Amino acid sequence: MREISTLINEYLDCCENSKKLSPDTLKAYRIDLGQYGDFAGESWAERDTLSRYVMHLNRRFAPRSVKRKLASVRAFFSELEFNETIDANPFDKLHLKIQYPRQLPRTIPEDTVRGLLQSAYDGYDPDRRETLVDIAVLELLFSTGLRVSELCALTPDTFSLSESSMRLLVRGKGRKERVIELTTAEIISLMGTYTLRYSAEIAAQNAILINRRGRPLTPQSVRRIIHKHLQRVGSPGNITPHMFRHTFATSLLEAGMDIRYIQSLLGHSSISTTQIYTHVSTPHQSQLLAEKHPRGKMSFKL
């Protein structure tokens, strides 16, 4: 039987060149399959080996990570079975039941978001590009619900600006595309100033957001920007870029937007993924019912 390392490399080549998977997905597959290959050795195609690997993962990782790693290995075996490299998929007779607690999305209090934005605007210096980038990053995260990878991937081809609107063509997970359009005058003015002032660098780097060294902004740079302004406002705790996405979705839901519109804005394939936000906004539901439901306009007496 062929060595698993060779088969993994061939599979990753297929994922990159034929399936056109994203760099982030390829990176995760490479890590997950490499770990399985190191564990399994020559008995990599045996069901008992896979069963022991599940126990190995459960002792070392959180349930969510176990589920993701096994999904990577399952996809690998499915491809091998499809290509008739193996006779049967060892997952087929493996009973898996991974339970993990539902983790509600962590959102950012509105006053904290306001403080972060105020800090960025207060620090603006027209002679320092990074101060304008700080404002743009925080505004876009809060106003669009973009994933940090999607934010950093914006290019002149996927970003358009007019006097009255800003339009983003976002390529999300699985290379699914969605369009987000903003009409907030302050954000349009901000991005107009930024893109006009640094048009040469944007064109040279083929990226909208540029760091102080003239290179495209990275997710790690975005995290540093958030942390910097958290320190300036003296806010406790840790805020991640993804929490802006959660805050975006929850705020829209609490404002009464239909969950299917939110699903479209977030780029979720399944409505079930978006529905987790209904749990976060439960305290607001009673207020919406009181304001919107026709029963509130009726009065009866015994």
Residues taking part in catalysis:
147, 173, 242, 245, 268, 277
Instruction: Judge residue 250's burial from the number of C-beta atoms within 10 Å of its C-beta, 0-12 exposed, 13-18 middle, 19 or more buried.
Output: buried
Q: Across the chain, where does the E strand assignment appear? A: 159-161, 166-171, 177-182
Beta bridge partner(s), residue 160: 167
Q: Can you read off the two tokens belonging to residue 74?
A: 């399952």
Which residue type does 125 have?
Answer: D
Q: Can you read off the two tokens belonging to residue 185?
A: 């005058």
CA-CA distance, 146 to 280, in Å (whole number)?
Answer: 19
Rg (CA), the chain: 24
Q: What is the DSSP letter of 294?
A: G
CA-CA distance, 121 to 112, in Å (whole number)?
Answer: 14
Q: Please, what's the largest Cα pairwise distance for the chain?
A: 82
